[in-house]
Amino acid sequence: MIGKIFRRYEEFIPDFQDFLEALRESPPFSIRVNTIKSSFEKLSDRFDEYGINYEPVEWYRDAMITEERVTHTLEYYLGDFYVQELASMVPPLILNPDENSFVLDMCAAPGSKTTQIAQMMNNRGHIVANDIEMERVKILRSNVKQMGCLNVTITKRDGRKIRGENIFDFVLLDAPCSGEGRHWKFNPLGWSESKIKSLSKLQSSLLENAIRLVKEGGVVVYSTCTYAPEENEAVLSRFLDRVKILGVKSPVRALPGITEWRGEFYGEEMKKAIRLFPHISGTGGFFIAKLQKA
């Protein structure tokens, strides 16, 4: 059934049969070393002592792949690392905030990207990590505490209604989406084109406010873990009069965004966005665009 749903994307996914085959496998078990508390060298030494096999991720020095789930280790409970799918690590790397930046993570729970950004900023600057649901906020708060992130303020707001204008240097909008890129967890029974259209409206409202909140010349990274153009390029195309899409150098092999689909033209600028696919990137599916407020 998943393959049937994803047939709608066949025209822009190269080697489509290889893509379908990749959907049969889960991604490798990956972790991000929390450099606020530990280092790759320290953690790898402990894994050597435990007899845990691992390998570094060539495109991200703070990440590793392990042959087994390592959530039984003391280091996990100490917050020395965070279990995080590889594709999820890419948006913060593209955001790439400075140490002293003022950053908003608009839809932050459970906190994988918030805590990654915190360590990238060396626990300096200020991050506002927001989410709308209390249960998710509780998880976010727990993870931020466990990772030792001291530069994070947690808020519970509807991202569409966060007030202000020209406040933040950087905004990460990892938007709620249909989750097609997480094929190992994707439930096709909950999928419909009407749901995608509804999500597209929500994503557009969130992005509109993200652009309002970021300073002029500031950066918004928009990302989803889905393939649907309605949730990706179509959303961005509504704001090309307010932002420009910046070219990005993807740390992992990726394809450019698409310029048109099903008779709808999104613009040549979409080629500057990136798309991750399991058979090409070795990760889950993701869409990422880096925007600068005009």
Alpha-carbon gap, residue 128 to 108, rounded angstroms: 9
- Mean pLDDT across 101-117: 99
Q: Are residues 103 and 206 in the same domain?
A: yes
How high is the pLDDT of residue 3?
Answer: 75
Q: Which domain holds residue 277?
A: 2-27+88-293
- The string of pLDDT tens digits covering residues 224-261 is 999 999 999 999 999 999 999 999 999 999 999 999 99
Told to judge if 149 belongs to the known catalytic residues of this protein, a careful annotator would answer no
- Give percent of the chain above pLDDT 70: 100
Please tell me the total count of domains within the chain. 2
- The string of pLDDT tens digits covering residues 26-59 is 999 999 999 999 999 999 999 999 999 999 999 9
Q: Are residues 172 and 69 in the same domain?
A: no
Residue 192 above 80 pLDDT?
Answer: yes
Q: Are residues 6 and 122 in the same domain?
A: yes
Other residues' Cβ atoms within 10 Å of the Cβ of residue 128 = 21
Q: Are residues 250 and 112 in the same domain?
A: yes
Instruction: Kindly indicate the confidence band of residue 4, based on its pLDDT and cuts at 50, 70 and 90.
Output: confident
- From 36, 67, 84, the end of a domain falls on 84
**Distant-in-sequence, close-in-space partners of 49: CB < 8 Å, separation ≥ 6:** none
Whole-prediction pTM: 0.97
- From 16, 50, 84, the end of a domain falls on 84
Active-site residue identified among 107, 149, 177, 225: 225
- Mean pLDDT across 170-197: 95
Burial of residue 3 (CB within 10 Å: 0-12, 13-18, 19+) is: middle
Q: At what angle do helices 134-146 and 112-120 cross, to 10 degrees?
A: 30
Task: Put residue 247 in one of left, alpha, beta given phi > 0 → left and psi -120 to 50 → alpha.
Answer: beta
DSSP string computed for 173-191? EE-----TT-TTT--GGG-
- Mean pLDDT across 13-26: 96
